[in-house]
């Protein structure tokens, strides 16, 4: 055999042998990491950082089956959060006679800002209904379900910029696949200029537990999610053999990340939300209906426009003109906590406490104005004997309301 052929074949042999070793090493890594960082047996205990890291890529179904137990005591808190039957006892009245009950609908961003507000103003009692990262559709739906259960005077609605694309979803599982909350909510769309609603297949955690146990019902649920949820991806959702391998889970996580990136890009670019997707129109219609429902219940709405990382002031740009026009009081974070400035955010994506402090001050200013407004309205109604209390928050008085609340927009330097 010629010498060159000999060296080529030996080089081939060495290369193939190295490739075989590579495969062997990968199998060793897979098994070793799988053993060393196996997930813990109890879903209610928060896993170690590395265990959680290597588990992010497990299928949604695989994670949910593990995290949702028979009872709340055996269920991970993230899977309980957001459901109406989350077992939390919420106040229906203000804690003190001269206090005010504030109902908060939204997500952790709204929760944190409201809790800061309650620390600044001890007369406030909070009734918080929130789902992790919940979109506006969730908040609206939960308000409609909850409106007669309490006597709140103020209703805070948290609208998260990054959750606007999630208006095209019916469950948090699809867009938060790494540690999926399980709660579900309706999907609203504008059809023939009307806000239409698709009712979620499941309304309570108890129902979810039942479905999880029944394979046919589970398949039916997945079918509905697939049909009505814009973020659904079957590879990320379904449990299979991939769940058993660390490398398989890393690949699934990578796929899931890219899938989310792709789907998000359909709704939002660096320039703003894509109008053709219809989510902004839905958000505007929802906000209008939401504020109207709150006012019909003789309450003051405060809309929190939470412009979080990666979304600049796009939410503000899209909905502020409408809110001004309708005289709906709002606070937008973009002016005092620009989303492009990373120091405004904690590593987990929430606003830093000092931003929440400012948001709370602005909510307090709106609250005080609403108090003054109520007094003014009472006098007005007395003078004109209209007999309609709080009419200032309705219909023709919107202009007055707009003037009053317009001063509390964040870009106004007169606001503290």
Partner 1 sequence: MAFNSIEFLIFLPVVYSLYRLLNLRWQNLMLLTASYLFYGWWDERFLFLIVLSTAIDYGSALMIEEGKVPRRARLGLSVWVLLSAIGFVGLNWQGDLLAITPQGWWVCLGMAVVVGLAHLLYPMFCRLSPSKRRGVFLFISMAANLTMLGFFKYFNFFIDSAEQMVSTLGVTASSLRLNIVLPVGISFYTFQTMSYTIDVYQRKMKPTHRFLDFALFVSFFPQLVAGPIERASHLLPRILNPRTITFDQSMRGLFLILLGLFKKVGVADSLAGSVDSIFLAGSPVGPLDIMAATALFAVQIYCDFSGYSDIARGTSKLLGIDLMVNFRIPYASATPSEFWERWHISLSSWLRDYLYIPLGGSRGKPSMVYRNLMLTMLLGGLWHGAAWNFVLWGAYQGAILCIYRALGITQTFQSRLGKTLQIGFFFVLTCYGWLLFRAVSFAQILDFTQTLAMGWGDLSLSIHKPTLAGIVGLMVLLFYELCEHGSGNTLFYRRLPSVVRGGLYAVMVFVILLGTSNAPVQFIYFQF
How many other CB atoms are there within 10 angstroms of residue 262's CB atom? 10
Q: Which tokens belong to 348?
A: 């987990």
Which residues are at the interface with partner 1 (CB under 8 A)? Answer: 8, 11-12, 14-15, 17-26, 29, 50, 53, 56-57, 247, 250-251, 253-255, 257-258, 261, 338, 340-344, 347
Q: Residue 250 Cβ, how far from partner 1 at the closest point, in Å?
A: 4
Q: How far is the CB of 30 from partner 1 (least distance, A)?
A: 9
> Distances in Å between the alpha carbon of 44 and those of 39, 187, 233, 244, 349?
12, 30, 27, 21, 23
Cβ at position 341, least distance to partner 1 in Å:
3
Q: Which is nearer to partner 1, 24 or 214 (CB)?
A: 24
**What's the closest the beta carbon of residue 235 comes to partner 1, in angstroms?**
12
- 356/397 with CB nearer partner 1: 356
In the bound state with partner 1, the residue whose beta carbon lies nearer, of 253 and 362, is 253
Nearest-approach distance from CB 28 to partner 1, in angstroms: 8
- Dihedral sign, Cα of residue 372, residue 333, residue 78, residue 64: positive
Strand locations in 164-213 (E): 187-191, 194-198
The encoded tokens of residue 407 equal 């001063």
| Least separation in angstroms between CB 353 and partner 1 | 14
The β-bridge relationship of strands 272-273 and 268-269 is: antiparallel
Long-range pairs of 60-64 with CB within 8 A, sequence gap ≥ 24: 60/173, 60/174, 60/177, 60/180, 60/236, 60/237, 61/218, 61/222, 61/237, 61/238, 61/239, 62/239, 62/243, 63/179, 63/180, 64/173, 64/180, 64/182, 64/212
Nearest approach in angstroms of CB 17 to partner 1 is 4
Specify the residue, 216 or 342, whose C-beta has the smaller distance to partner 1. Answer: 342
CA quadruple 105, 396, 196, 189: dihedral positive or negative? negative
Looking at residue 310, the DSSP 8-state letter turns out to be: T
Q: Closer to partner 1 at the Cβ: 310 or 406?
A: 310
CB of 247: closest distance to partner 1 in angstroms? 6
Contact 238, 221 (CB under 8 A): no
The SS3 assignment for 249 reads helix
DSSP string covering 102-151, please? EEEEE-HHHHHHHHHHHHH-TTEEEEEEE-TT--HHHHHHHHHHHGGG--
E-assigned strand segments in 255-379 = 268-269, 272-273, 300-306, 330-332
User: Per the structure block, which two tokens stand in for 234?
Assistant: 């079957």
**CB-based burial label for 179 (10 Å; 0-12, 13-18, 19+):** middle
Identify which of residues 203 and 350 has a Cβ nearer to partner 1 in the complex: 350
Nearer to partner 1, 259 or 404 (CB): 259
Residue number with CB closer to partner 1 (33 or 305): 33
Q: How far is the CB of 264 from partner 1 (least distance, A)?
A: 10
Residue 230 CB, nearest distance to partner 1 (Å)?
19
Nearer to partner 1, 4 or 192 (CB): 4
Toward partner 1, which CB reaches closer, 41 or 270? Answer: 270
Q: Which is nearer to partner 1, 214 or 346 (CB)?
A: 346
- Report which of 285, 262, 283, 265 is spatially closest to residue 274, judged by C-alpha positions: 265
Query: Which contiguous run of DSSP H or E holds residue 48?
Result: none
Write down the least CB distance from residue 223 to partner 1, Å: 26
Tokens coding 115? 């809790």
């Amino acid at each position: 055999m010629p010498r060159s052929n000999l060296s080529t074949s030996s080089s081939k042999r060495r290369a193939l042998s190295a490739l075989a070793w590579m495969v062997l090493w990968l199998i060793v890594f897979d098994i070793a990491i799988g053993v060393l960082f196996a997930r813990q047996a109890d879903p209610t205990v928060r896993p170690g950082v590395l265990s959680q890291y290597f588990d992010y890529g497990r299928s949604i179904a695989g994670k949910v089956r593990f995290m949702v137990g028979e009872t709340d005591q055996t269920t991970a808190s993230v899977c309980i959060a957001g459901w109406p039957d989350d077992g939390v006892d919420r106040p229906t009245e203000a804690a003190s006679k001269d206090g005010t009950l504030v109902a908060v609908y939204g997500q952790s961003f709204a929760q944190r800002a409201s809790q800061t507000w309650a620390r600044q103003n001890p007369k406030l009692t909070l009734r918080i209904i929130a789902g992790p990262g919940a979109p506006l559709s969730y908040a609206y739906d939960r308000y409609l379900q909850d409106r007669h259960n309490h006597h709140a005077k103020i209703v805070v609605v948290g609208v998260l910029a990054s959750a606007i694309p999630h208006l095209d979803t019916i469950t948090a599982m699809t867009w938060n696949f790494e540690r999926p909350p399980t709660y579900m909510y309706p999907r609203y769309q504008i059809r023939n200029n009307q806000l239409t609603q698709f009712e979620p297949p499941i309304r309570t955690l108890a129902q979810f537990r039942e479905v999880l146990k029944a394979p046919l019902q589970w398949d039916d649920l997945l079918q509905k999610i697939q049909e009505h949820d814009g973020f659904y991806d079957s590879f990320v959702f379904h449990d299979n053999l991939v769940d058993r391998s660390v490398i398989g889970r890393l690949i699934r996580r990578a796929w899931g990340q890219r899938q989310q990136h792709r789907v998000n890009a359909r709704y939002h670019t660096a320039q703003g939300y894509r109008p053709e997707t219809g989510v902004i129109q839905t958000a505007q219609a929802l906000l209008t209906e939401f504020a109207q429902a709150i006012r019909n219940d003789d309450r003051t709405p405060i809309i929190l426009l939470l412009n979080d990382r990666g979304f600049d002031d796009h939410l503000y740009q899209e909905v502020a003109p409408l809110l001004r026009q309708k005289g709906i009081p709002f606070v937008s974070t973009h002016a005092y906590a620009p989303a492009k400035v990373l120091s405004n955010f904690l590593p987990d994506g929430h606003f830093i406490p000092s931003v929440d402090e400012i948001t709370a001050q602005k909510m307090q200013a709106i609250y005080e104005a609403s108090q003054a407004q109520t007094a003014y309205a009472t006098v007005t109604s007395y003078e004109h004997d209209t007999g309609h209390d709080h009419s200032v928050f309705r219909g023709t008085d919107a202009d007055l309301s707009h003037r009053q609340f317009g001063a509390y927009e964040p870009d106004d330097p007169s606001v503290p």
